[in-house]
Structure 1
């Protein structure tokens, strides 16, 4: 399944960004020293957009700066959930998976109902090849949001890493039910079918994947009918 994991590495974090686009957080700026007069006119703490994905693509330097900004906030308030989530996201994008998991652990302890945190921690575990906890987190998201196609997809990929392809088929089928144009779900389900010796089903799914995303042609050549 190395090919599958390389596909995952190429695209799963993009999925993560799309998944959390509607629930972005901002990191409060680190406290600044002010005069008494300034304190009287200060209505609220200044916030900086450290976790919000800007119109242009963030670079590694941007994410490193996001970590530094969050560090300053957390030095003054270790229980600042927004800063923990922002730093966790930056660590995830920088491929610092153990640090991302630590921050998501802390954020979830503060807010056990944050499904985005469970989802992204699941991705961090998956990217760090910790499959069992990844499936646990993704299953938690699915229990709380049973129509979450991204969680079903990521859990299906995790099951493939455990060679549990028959169970993964069900997750990819659910994704396709929720979104009939989800190209990656057809591609991965096709690979699963090929692995359990169902070439007709594999061919059908892989051809559909190519229709939706020409880049899936590589999988069709590798796993389709010879």
Structure 2
């Protein structure tokens, strides 16, 4: 009985100590705790940490922005947008919540809203390549290839070794019937990333657009070997005798 009482005291002391420790964290420590949890993809737990930080300071921009990203990661898109709204209300001069909200809006099929946010983010921070990549992707989706090219070209000035940008630029060049420029860009993408299946696929299409069937089919075969969806159909349509 004495041993059981002693054990109970130890357990209660540990629980009490843990509670004191958790409650004693300041908002900065709670935000950092949430970020560490996000790094391990523990998004629901991260949200709890951000909520604790926000209970201490509802205007903590960093906590609001990070919470919005965590909500996006677990698919709570509407709540994610509302959280980014709060962050922007706290500080409308920081581009991050605009950028992150644009990603959520794209997932909600609100491309117009995403474009507005990307425009605002670029006005606030014009030296972030991802902003131009995403805006260019939306423009490409709606057939505005010249405007998309402008964004991809600007992104390349910021990140000249980004294979994704060369891929996107090559696709846009091909859409405006510039296969030579497309081939240059797509080969650059492969030079940076030799396993870039989608780049091989589009490079194959570009060579086919130049009536270079042999080379085009070789690139499509490379895309197929790298398991790119659509490569087999393209080979069946263009390369099978």
Scaled by the length of structure 2, what TM-score is found?
Answer: 0.69
Q: Which runs of 5+ in 2 are unaligned?
A: 1-38, 40-45
Q: CA RMSD in A?
A: 2.9
Q: Show the counterpart of 1:128.
A: 142
Tell me whether 1:222 sits opposite 2:240 in the alignment: no
Residue-pair matches, total? 190
CA shift at 1:52, angstroms? 5.1
Bigger RCO (CA 8 Å, 6+ sep)? 1
Write out aligned runs for 1:29-108 (5 A).
Answer: 46-47=63-64, 48-51=66-69, 58-59=74-75, 62-108=76-122
Rounded Cα–Cα distance in structure 2 between residues aligned with 1:128 and 1:64 = 24
Deviation at 1:128? 2.6
- Greater C-alpha Rg: 2
Structure 1: tracts of 5 or more residues without a match: 1-21
Per-residue displacement from partner, 1:2-31 (whole Å, max 9, x unpaired)? Answer: xxxxxxxxxxxxxxxxxxxx9xxx9x98x9
Q: Is the 8 A contact 1:156 1:168 kept in 2?
A: yes
Partners of 1:195 and 1:52 lie apart in 2 by 43
**Pair 58,106 (structure 1): closer, same or farther in 2 beyond 3 Å:** same
Q: Is the 8 A contact 1:122 1:137 kept in 2?
A: yes
Q: Structure 1 pair 182/52, CA: closer, same or farther in 2 (3 Å)?
A: farther
TM-fit CA distance, 1:58: 4.6
Separation in structure 2 between the aligned mates of residue 211 and residue 73 of structure 1, nearest angstrom: 45
Q: TM-score, normalised by structure 1?
A: 0.73
Residue by residue, what CA displacement relative to the aligned partner does 1:56-85 show, whole Å, maximum 9, x if unpaired? x654xx223222221233234333322111
**How far, CA to CA, are the matches of 2:195 and 2:222 in structure 1?**
9
**1:193 paired residue number:** 207
- In terms of fraction of residues, the more helix-rich structure is 2
